[in-house]
């Protein structure tokens, strides 16, 4: 499959000799959903800041469509139009007075006309179910509301690649459902998605591929079922096999689930499988 974005041998240390990236390699395939998992301080945020050019590699390179990226002003502008980033902290992202203005900023900056920009903003706000917040001051919103506004701002840009740093953190269950639906709409139009999370169940529910980070390196990258189903690979990063995947793999091993049947991705699908299993044993 075609690779849209790639990090090769990235190194970054912050002042005080903190090594955040230690020769990190990662590939992002076009049209895929890639989940990045790893403990606090593993370098996830630092990597995302390199992937859209906010930080410049101290060694190594970032490649977009196979071309090494440069950090001149024009290059950075073009790069950030194609690769959007939603920061971990919404307060670091939002700056306009009202929600509508904040989400409008990107589309207007793309040079879109006022009508088209307005259309995109309305769609983005609707998709995250925050149309009712349009005229509210951004600094008076709850954390989860701010988070949704920040995501709406990135969605309205319709980037080729959208990087999201812990997008589900602080959202309620409906918020996460709306987030995934909004991202799915974007993906259907061709956007490649990369997101960090500490939630293995969410990663399994939604990602095609998974990369495991540990101490500034990628220690495993591959298909979600392969990486998340490998308890030995997960142990060093203090993660466990997602519940639905564990149930599915056990059901396969016991012959309850056919080898070629899809594995359950959601808890509800795993519960339905257990239910069927119970009924078969009762009868
Ligand atoms: N602005 C900074 N100045 C100095 N050190 C930093 C800075 N930002 C991050 N670090 C350090 O760099 C390392 C990687 O941090 P990073 O924020 O990339 O990790 P992370 O995987 O995103 O963690 P989390 O899961 O907590 O968000 C950590 O050791 C952190 O303390
Ligand atoms: Mg982080």
* β-pair type (83-86, 161-165): parallel
Task: Find the 188 Cα to ligand 1 centroid distance in Å.
Answer: 32
- State the average pLDDT for the chain: 95
Task: Find the 216 Cα to ligand 2 centroid distance in Å.
Answer: 12
21 CA closest ligand 1 atom index: 14
Residues in the chain: 283
Place of tokens 């951004």: 138
**Over the stretch 130-146, which tens digit does the pLDDT of each residue have?**
999 999 999 999 999 99
pLDDT for 141 equals: 96
Q: Which ligand is nearest to the CA of 36?
A: 1
Q: Which residue has the higher pLDDT, 50 or 170?
A: 50
Task: Find the 246 Cα to ligand 1 centroid distance in Å.
Answer: 31
42 CA closest ligand 1 atom index: 21
* Mean pLDDT confidence for 139-165: 95
The segment(s) of the chain belonging to CATH 3.40.50.300 are 3-224
213 CA closest ligand 1 atom index: 21
The vertex-251 CA angle with 249 and 257, nearest 5°, equals 105
16 CA closest ligand 1 atom index: 4
Q: Which ligand is nearest to the CA of 41?
A: 1
Tell me the CATH number of domain 3-224, given options 3.50.50.60, 1.10.3720.10, 3.40.50.300, 3.40.50.150.
3.40.50.300
pTM of the model: 0.95
pLDDT for 283 equals: 58
Task: Find the 258 Cα to ligand 1 centroid distance in Å.
Answer: 43
Helices and strands, number each (H, E), in the chain: 11, 10
pLDDT for 1 equals: 79
Task: Find the 3 Cα to ligand 1 centroid distance in Å.
Answer: 27
Q: Which ligand is nearest to the CA of 216?
A: 1
Nearest alpha-carbon partner for 153 in 173, 174, 133: 133
The 8 Å CB, 24+ separation contacts for 177-184 are: 178/127, 178/128, 178/129, 178/148, 179/128, 179/148, 179/151, 180/205, 180/206, 181/127, 182/124, 182/127, 182/128, 182/151, 182/152, 182/155, 183/33, 183/155
* Mean pLDDT confidence for 192-216: 97
* Mean pLDDT confidence for 119-130: 95
Q: Which of 42, 200, 214 to mutate to test the pocket of ligand 1 (most atoms within 8 A of CB)?
A: 42
Report how far residue 82's alpha carbon sits from residue 137's, in angstroms, rounded to the nearest whole number.
Answer: 28
**Over the stretch 48-57, which tens digit does the pLDDT of each residue have?**
999 999 999 9
CB-CB contact of 189 with 139 (8 Å): no
**What are the helix (H) ranges across 90-196?**
99-109, 114-127, 143-155, 173-188
């Amino acid at each position: 499959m075609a690779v849209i974005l790639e990090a090769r041998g990235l190194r970054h240390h912050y002042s005080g000799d903190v090594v955040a990236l230690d020769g990190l390699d990662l590939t992002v395939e076009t049209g895929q959903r890639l989940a990045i998992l790893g403990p606090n301080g593993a370098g996830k945020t630092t990597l995302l800041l390199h992937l859209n050019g906010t930080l410049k590699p101290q060694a190594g390179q970032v490649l977009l469509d196979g071309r090494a990226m440069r950090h001149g002003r024009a290059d950075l502008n073009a790069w950030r139009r194609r690769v959007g980033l939603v920061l971990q902290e919404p307060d670091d992202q939002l700056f306009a007075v009202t929600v509508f203005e904040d989400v409008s900023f990107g589309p207007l900056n793309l040079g879109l006309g006022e009508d088209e920009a307005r259309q995109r903003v309305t769609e983005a706000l609707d998709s995250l179910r925050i149309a009712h917040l349009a005229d509210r001051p951004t600094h008076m919103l709850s954390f989860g509301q701010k988070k949704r506004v920040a995501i709406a701002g990135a969605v309205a840009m319709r980037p080729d690649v959208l990087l999201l740093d812990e997008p589900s953190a602080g959202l309620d269950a409906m918020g996460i459902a709306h987030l995934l639906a909004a991202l799915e709409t974007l993906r259907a139009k061709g956007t490649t998605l990369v997101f960090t999370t500490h939630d293995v169940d969410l990663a399994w529910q939604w990602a095609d591929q998974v990369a495991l980070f540990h101490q500034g390196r990628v220690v495993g990258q591959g298909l979600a079922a392969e990486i998340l189903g490998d308890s030995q690979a997960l142990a060093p990063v203090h993660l466990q096999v997602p519940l639905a995947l564990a149930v599915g793999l056990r059901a396969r091993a016991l012959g309850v689930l056919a080898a070629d049947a899809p594995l359950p991705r959601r808890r509800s699908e795993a519960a339905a499988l257990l239910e069927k299993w119970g009924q078969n044993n009762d009868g």
